[in-house]
Structure 1
Amino acid sequence: MKDITAIRAILERPRGAVLAVIVGVEGPSYRPLGAMMTIYGKNDCVGSLSSGCIEADLALQAQETLREGAPRLVRYGRGSKFIDIQLPCGGGLEIVLLPTPDLAVLTQLDAKAKQRHRCALDIDIESGAMTLGLGGATRRTASGISIDIVPEIRVFAFGKGPEVNTFVALATSAGYPAVVLSPDDETIALAKNLGCVTQKLTSKTFPDDLAVDDRSAIILFFHDHDWEPEILAASLKTPAFYIGAQGSLKARDARFAAMRGMGVSDKDLERMHGPVGLISSVKDPTTLAISVLAEIVGKAMQDSGA
């Protein structure tokens, strides 16, 4: 998964922008291969490529690339000529600095990301040329790097009460867009105040118009478990990478029994998470939200090979 905040910064403010990309990693590293940062000058940047130990020098290098008008490949840490700049992790980083990156390609990339289409940003290190390709694992290529750009995690939270709103408050604060679906007006109102997309549920069914893709997580927070079977059965027909519902083991077993009665197979039920979260027997909404979001993000990273 790659955060394209640095790319969107260039599109909003292209003048004087230099895109810095990690194109080589040796040993431990604070940021992964393909991580990006936009540099405008000293103390004026978007993103980071280290814990703060190389950013000042990167800013100087970036200004030189702007004056020269050509990409520059620099190395820090292990094997670097900059012996006075050390990486605390003990590894080595290769970073390419790209002055005046291709705005047309970056605009296309941003459009694909907003449409939730997976793609790859392919960069030629020597020339700085950029093209878009098919998504796949981020990797170093013969001429440069191919950066896998996947849609951000999106959560669909069904239910009512503090568990829903606490969870989506945490998710949105972490940068994950959330859609709240609830039969409860107060839950809907609070979710709107958090900036969430909302939808009022008028029946115990899964809405036909939800755009669920393979980077979507569906989580149910109902205390009235009668709401769950039909919604979950329909959820299992979507490509969502995570589907779960709060409740105890007893509630899960009752849920599964009801879904089997609806014709849901045991193989499909294996996709279900429940009891949800990394922490067992959670009693308060805040801990539950942290536990569930951690499980969702962990599943997304596992599925993407990150």
Structure 2
Amino acid sequence: MCQCFISHVEGPSYRPLGSGMAVDGAGRRFGNLSSGCIDEDVALHAVEALKSGAPKVLRYGRGSPFMDIQLPCGGGLEVTLLPAPDREVLNAVHRRLVARENVTLTVLPDGQIENGATRGGLTMTLRPKVRVLVFGDGPEPRGFSALAQAAGLPVTLYAGAEETRDGIAGACAFSGKTWPDTAHVDHRTAVTLFFHDHERETALLTHALETPAFYIGAQGSLRARQLREAALSAAGVGDAGIARLVEPFGYVAHARSAQEMAAGVLAQVIDHARRV
């Protein structure tokens, strides 16, 4: 399997520096480096690199020898092909990502990969995938969970009503007010609450605000938000903790349907994830 990744970017780029794609000996691609403008060509070169065993750097866009391949964004980028990376290093990277840890590694000029930051190579940090915890009942949490899963995010829905959980992979029965033992939170976790019975929120939010979750938000009107903040304050949550709540909840102001709310909250979660 040839590892291909963006190692240099000039100007705008659809995918950021360090984005990766794997290509096997048959030219099958796993992942993508663009919106479709270079991936097929990269795969052809990757198959050749697998045969030769030698790393290779491809240039696209500005200064590229491939004049027939244009980048619509108008920038320039380089893609490094690694046909024989150290499997032990890759396995270690995989284990740490599965454990929800950030991983720093360096690609050296000779095509080898080392753990950690090493001078003389390209150092990059890989982060675990964003995941979402969803609490609530009704069409709002169900619609949001389905949309987030369709976008490729791991989702765990905690809901009491079977009709809310039905068809949502990984959904868990939940009708309490205290934090479930199975809901683990790390720095790449978003916590979302969709309750109409806002009394169920206080203990859940109090716990969530003690975690490193990058996003914590809850559904409700201005009046509901005011009551929520008062309840959290009475529960001992300080101003700094309350200020961590994302308000307003979602990018669609005054959402009038579960679909509008789901789209607005998902966009907001993704936007916040780009900052951590």
TM-score in terms of structure 1 length: 0.84
Partner of residue 105, structure 2:
121
Partner of residue 194, structure 1:
168
CA distance in structure 1 between the partners assigned to 2:87 and 2:249 by the alignment: 43
Deviation sequence 1:104-156 (CA, Å, 0-9, x none): 221221111111011123211x321112227xxxxxx7533222111111111
Answering whether residue 246 of structure 2 is matched by residue 273 of structure 1, we say yes
Are residues 179 and 51 of structure 1, via their aligned partners in 2, closer, same or farther at CA, if it must alter by over 3 Å?
closer
Identity of aligned residues (%): 44
Partner of residue 61, structure 2:
77
SS at structure 2 position matched to 1:273: coil
Deviation sequence 1:56-93 (CA, Å, 0-9, x none): 33233223222221101121221123333332222111
SS at structure 1 position matched to 2:22: strand
Unaligned stretches of 5+ in structure 1? 1-16, 135-140
For the Cα contact (< 8 Å) 2:133–2:183, is it kept in 1?
Answer: no
CA distance in structure 2 between the partners assigned to 1:257 and 1:27 by the alignment: 47
CA distance in structure 1 between the partners assigned to 2:75 and 2:180 by the alignment: 49
Partner of residue 121, structure 2:
144
Q: 1:44 aligns with which of 28, 35, 38?
A: 28
CA distance in structure 2 between the partners assigned to 1:112 and 1:24 by the alignment: 25
CA-CA distance at 1:41 after TM superposition: 5.7
Answering whether residue 26 of structure 2 is matched by residue 53 of structure 1, we say no
Are residues 161 and 56 of structure 1, via their aligned partners in 2, closer, same or farther at CA, if it must alter by over 3 Å?
closer
CA distance in structure 1 between the partners assigned to 2:179 and 2:47 by the alignment: 53
Partner of residue 113, structure 2:
130
CA-CA distance at 1:225 after TM superposition: 1.1
For the Cα contact (< 8 Å) 2:161–2:173, is it kept in 1?
Answer: no
* AA of the residue aligned to 1:159: G
CA distance in structure 1 between the partners assigned to 2:187 and 2:40 by the alignment: 39
For the Cα contact (< 8 Å) 1:117–1:150, is it kept in 2?
Answer: yes
SS at structure 2 position matched to 1:143: coil
For the Cα contact (< 8 Å) 2:11–2:74, is it kept in 1?
Answer: yes
For the Cα contact (< 8 Å) 2:26–2:47, is it kept in 1?
Answer: no
CA distance in structure 1 between the partners assigned to 2:24 and 2:163 by the alignment: 44
CA distance in structure 1 between the partners assigned to 2:74 and 2:44 by the alignment: 23
Moved over 4 A (4+): none
Compare 33-42 and 293-302 and name the one that shifted more. 33-42
CA distance in structure 2 between the partners assigned to 1:77 and 1:112 by the alignment: 34
Q: How many corresponding residue pairs?
A: 276
Partner of residue 184, structure 1:
161
Q: 1:291 aligns with which of 249, 264, 269?
A: 264
Are residues 119 and 54 of structure 1, via their aligned partners in 2, closer, same or farther at CA, if it must alter by over 3 Å?
same
Answering whether residue 93 of structure 2 is matched by residue 109 of structure 1, we say yes
CA distance in structure 2 between the partners assigned to 1:173 and 1:65 by the alignment: 34
Are residues 143 and 159 of structure 1, via their aligned partners in 2, closer, same or farther at CA, if it must alter by over 3 Å?
same
* AA of the residue aligned to 1:232: L
TM-score in terms of structure 2 length: 0.92
Partner of residue 7, structure 2:
23
Unaligned stretches of 5+ in structure 2? none
SS at structure 1 position matched to 2:274: helix
For the Cα contact (< 8 Å) 1:23–1:144, is it kept in 2?
Answer: no
CA distance in structure 2 between the partners assigned to 1:181 and 1:51 by the alignment: 35
Q: 2:17 aligns with which of 33, 43, 53?
A: 33
Q: 1:253 aligns with which of 226, 229, 239?
A: 226
Are residues 181 and 53 of structure 1, via their aligned partners in 2, closer, same or farther at CA, if it must alter by over 3 Å?
closer
Partner of residue 99, structure 1:
83
Partner of residue 218, structure 1:
191
